[in-house]
Chains A and B, each alone.
Chain A
Amino acid sequence: EADIYQTPRYLVIGTGKKITLECSQTMGHDKMYWYQQDPGMELHLIHYSYGVNSTEKGDLSSESTVSRIRTEHFPLTLESARPSHTSQYLCASSRTDYGYTFGSGTRLTVV
């Protein structure tokens, strides 16, 4: 079944560690996105990609980085995690103007 997958679902990690949040989709969508969702549930776009080898920063400045080497894969990396990075991260993909399909999210806690 075509879908979008995020792993891990939950992650608790110590300050200073490097982490990668995985996002993969099987729908063949060209466009992929990362959102950060704060405790008040607001959604902030932090990265997006319109295709392989194309990545852009979103509206909210983030210390994370992304890569898009394959159409189906859009991982997000934090080189050195800090408590301020504690949040929920949502990955999404889309085809043209139909709207997004979201993953289940990764809830990250940095201690």
Chain B
Amino acid sequence: AQTVTQSQPEMSVQEAETVTLSCTYDTSESNYYLFWYKQPPSRQMILVIRQEAYKQQNATENRFSVNFQKAAKSFSLKISDSQLGDTAMYFCAFMRALAGANNLFFGTGTRLTVIP
């Protein structure tokens, strides 16, 4: 079974600073996908970034980037130049790369607060 662990229930960061959210996962699969999702207060959950396990290059999306360490089964999210709108719950998620097996396994989330 796949498990996803987010060891930081809550974090805070000053506006314009950089913050890193941690995520580790456990799987026996060699190919899979990893995601970070953002859920702002009382708003829709949205996809922040996606990483394919067979790609060594770390994914980036504007101010968001990941540090993907496949051997260590680690997938951290770095948010640069933090903005007030980044305040949200952040969920790390895992998906197997098998046809017909597209269920997402979520971590327990990290609540990030950006302080003005």
Point out residues on A near B: beta carbons under 8 Å.
31, 33, 40-43, 45, 48, 50, 58, 90, 92, 94, 96-105
B97 at interface, CB cutoff 8 A: yes
Report the Cα distance A101→B104, complex, angstroms.
12
On whether the beta carbons of A105 and B44 are closer than 8 Å, the reply is yes
B78 at interface, CB cutoff 8 A: no
Point out residues on B near A: beta carbons under 8 Å.
33, 35, 37, 39, 43-47, 50, 89, 91, 93, 95, 97, 100, 102-104, 106, 108-109, 111
On whether the beta carbons of A97 and B91 are closer than 8 Å, the reply is no
Question: What's the nearest-Cβ distance from chain B to residue A28, in Å?
Answer: 15
**A residues less than 8 Å from B47 (CB atoms):** 99-101
On whether the beta carbons of B43 and A104 are closer than 8 Å, the reply is yes
Given A104-B43, A104-B44, is A97 in contact with B102 using a C-beta cutoff of 8 Å? yes
On whether the beta carbons of A40 and B108 are closer than 8 Å, the reply is yes
A99-B95, A102-B37 are known; give 17 further A-B pairs, CB within 8 A.
Answer: A41-B89, A41-B108, A41-B109, A42-B106, A43-B106, A45-B104, A50-B102, A92-B45, A94-B102, A96-B102, A97-B97, A97-B102, A99-B33, A99-B35, A99-B50, A104-B43, A105-B44
**A residues less than 8 Å from B106 (CB atoms):** 42-43
Nearest A residue (CB) for B49: A99
**A residues less than 8 Å from B100 (CB atoms):** 50
Report the Cα distance A105→B103, complex, angstroms.
18
Given A41-B109, A43-B91, is A100 in contact with B104 using a C-beta cutoff of 8 Å? yes
Question: What's the nearest-Cβ distance from chain B to residue A43, in Å?
Answer: 5
On whether the beta carbons of A42 and B104 are closer than 8 Å, the reply is no
